[in-house]
Amino acid sequence: MSRVLVTEEIAQPGLDLLAEAGHEVDVRLGLSPAELLEVVPGAAALVIRSATKVTEEVLVAGRELAVVGRAGIGLDNVDVAAATRRGVMVVNAPQSNILSAAEHTIALLLAQARNVPQAHAALKAGRWERSRWEGVELYGKTLGVIGLGRVGTLVAQRALAFGMHLIAYDPYLAHERARQIGVELVPLEDLVRQSDFVTIHLPKTPETMGLVGDDLLAVAKPGLRLVNTARGGIVDEAALARAISDGRVAGAGLDVFAVEPPGNSPLLQLDEVVVTPHLGASTREAQDKAGVTIAEQVVLALAGDIVPFAVNVPAAEADEVVRPFVPLAERLGRLFASLAGELPGVLEIEYAGPIAGHDTRLLTLATQKGLFSAASEEPVSYVNVAQLATERGLEVRATTASTSHRYVNLVLVRGGGRTVGGTLFGQGEPRIVLLDEHEIELPFAPWLLVVRNDNRVGMVALVTNALATADININDLHLGRSADKHTAIMAISLEEPVPEAVVKRLRAAPGILDVMPLAEL
């Protein structure tokens, strides 16, 4: 029997399941960070939701912890890296709320189309306003789905029942898979040009932040109605408020905000906007599923069995030779996602050098995990990433080579005409050593600017001057030439993104062939 410390409310069936497995269930709600440090010693498992912060200090204090379970999806409040270093398993319940989130999306879609909250408030206030709150039908309208992960797919299936025409933007989904769902894949700008309604189901990443802003809304079909139940910050709230006030957008239904509670968001002042306080997962069924799922995971972990929703176990149990390459492989997957911009039909991963003689299956999973973490609305783990690749129509091929000509070990990721390569330098420092056909040597950074240009005098000065004018500091810069020596590449590591205006100016400069701002998503 082990002691399971529960610091936040989870469904009673989950608590019962832990007790039935023979464990001591110690429920301590409302603990302060200091009180948590006092009670966590001696616990073999810690079960939390979103309020409890599991820091490295907590993990050190809980020296007998074997598993931390988050009864929900996100893991922002858990230091997963520190848990991995200490051999503590981290598990969550990634599928507990997808039905609830999809149904809430449909609820907002209908509420927005028929002005239900506005009419309700008017009638409760004694006003009979039939003509003012005239709505629109869903039947025959075009719904644009931005992101066809699990929630987006469930929304699409339900929208089909209303007789809607479905289009979607998801560069990480194969066209064949989209056709199976009954959805046509289109570019993002085409989606907003054609759609009567748009619903967002994307992860929150540096590249999706502010995705729906002034530029995108400027090309939207007049009368567009927008729904966001994914993550706050993907929609530029000020830009959306301007578009609604100008009459370009008919209205919006929002469950999430950049800052929560949203305070003085201009959207709250508009009658055309329907809002809810982040209720996507707030159903009895979702909470029950989360509680039961996390209890099941904890019971399996304490029994030493296979745990389906463990997010960090493979990294902790990897071969000692392979283990240092796991973070490198994941970062290469993220970098490849940013470079390629869409999912290739085939992803090739090559391991060269002595590492090729070891079991590299974990590295293959890590690369896919990095790739899909940039594109999936739900958490991606080592356990579910292979299934995710299958669902999205990605064929993964892993190959090995006994020697690597320039480096001791090398990991290459190829697909769709794009290539990234990396290795470990010195004491395990990850380096990017290949971008497309150009050899470079550059540390990873939150942001990279890759410029391909004619191999001629003055190009470096042109680019660095543009960055200096924008007051952007350069951390590192590497120059390389293509094999034919006609073109060259500049790979520049930065601590902040390059403004779009600077990117456009560089792209228009003579001698510049391509400008790629990349994020380690």
Kindly list the strands in the beta sheet with 273-275, ordered across the sheet, starting from the edge strand earlier in the chain.
184-185, 165-169, 142-146, 197-200, 224-228, 249-254, 273-275
Question: Band of the pLDDT at 406, cuts 50, 70, 90?
Answer: confident
Indicate the DSSP class of residue 507. Answer: H
The residue annotated as part of the active site, out of 114, 158, 278, 481, is 278
Tell me whether residue 131 is exposed, middle or buried, using C-beta atoms within 10 angstroms of its C-beta: 0 to 12, 13 to 18, 19 or more.
exposed
How high is the mean pLDDT of the chain? 90
86-120: pLDDT as tens digits: 878 999 998 888 999 999 999 999 999 999 999 99
HEC string for 401-436: ECCCCCCCCEEEEEECCEEEEEEEECCCEEEEEEEC
115-166: pLDDT as tens digits: 999 999 999 999 999 999 999 999 999 999 999 988 999 999 999 999 999 9
Round to whole Å and give the CA distance between 227 and 216.
Answer: 15
Question: Band of the pLDDT at 315, cuts 50, 70, 90?
Answer: low
Q: What is the DSSP string of 174-220?
A: -HHHHHHHT-EE--HHHHHHH-SEEEE-----TTTTT-BSHHHHHTS
Beta bridge partners of 249: 224
Kindly list the strands in the beta sheet with 3-6, ordered across the sheet, starting from the edge strand earlier in the chain.
24-27, 3-6, 45-48, 67-70, 89-92
In the block, residue with structure tokens 């190959």: 399
Look at residue 515 and tell me whether its pLDDT is greater than 70.
yes
The pTM (predicted TM-score) of the whole model is: 0.79
Indicate the DSSP class of residue 516. Answer: E
**Does 278 qualify as catalytic in the annotation?**
yes
Indicate the DSSP class of residue 497. Answer: P
Beta bridge partners of 518: 448
Q: Is-contact 140 326, C-beta < 8 A?
A: no
Question: Band of the pLDDT at 379, cuts 50, 70, 90?
Answer: low
Round to whole Å and give the CA distance between 76 and 86.
Answer: 18
Predicted pLDDT at 170: 93
Most confident segment among 38-47, 389-398, 437-446: 38-47
Predicted pLDDT at 521: 47
Beta bridge partners of 491: 450, 478
Predicted pLDDT at 316: 53
Helix (H, G, I), strand (E, B) or coil at 153: helix
The residue annotated as part of the active site, out of 23, 70, 225, 231, is 231
Look at residue 186 and tell me whether its pLDDT is greater than 90.
yes
418-431: pLDDT as tens digits: 999 999 998 788 99
**Rounded average pLDDT over 50-69:** 93
**Does 49 qualify as catalytic in the annotation?**
no
**Does 231 qualify as catalytic in the annotation?**
yes
350-367: pLDDT as tens digits: 999 999 988 888 899 889
Predicted pLDDT at 307: 84
Q: Which of 495, 487, 503, 501 is nearest to 519 (CA)?
A: 495
Domains contained in the chain, CATH given: 3-95+286-313 (3.40.50.720), 98-275 (3.40.50.720), 325-519 (3.30.1330.90)
The residue annotated as part of the active site, out of 260, 285, 429, 496, is 260
Pairing label, strands 418-425, 512-519: unpaired
Question: Band of the pLDDT at 378, cuts 50, 70, 90?
Answer: low
| Residue type at 107 in one-letter notation | A
Q: Which of 337, 345, 416 is nearest to 174 (CA)?
A: 345
Q: What is the DSSP string of 348-407?
A: EEEEESGGGGS--HHHHHHHHHHHHHTT-SS---TTTHHHHHHHTT-EEEEEEES--SSS
Look at residue 465 and tell me whether its pLDDT is greater than 90.
yes
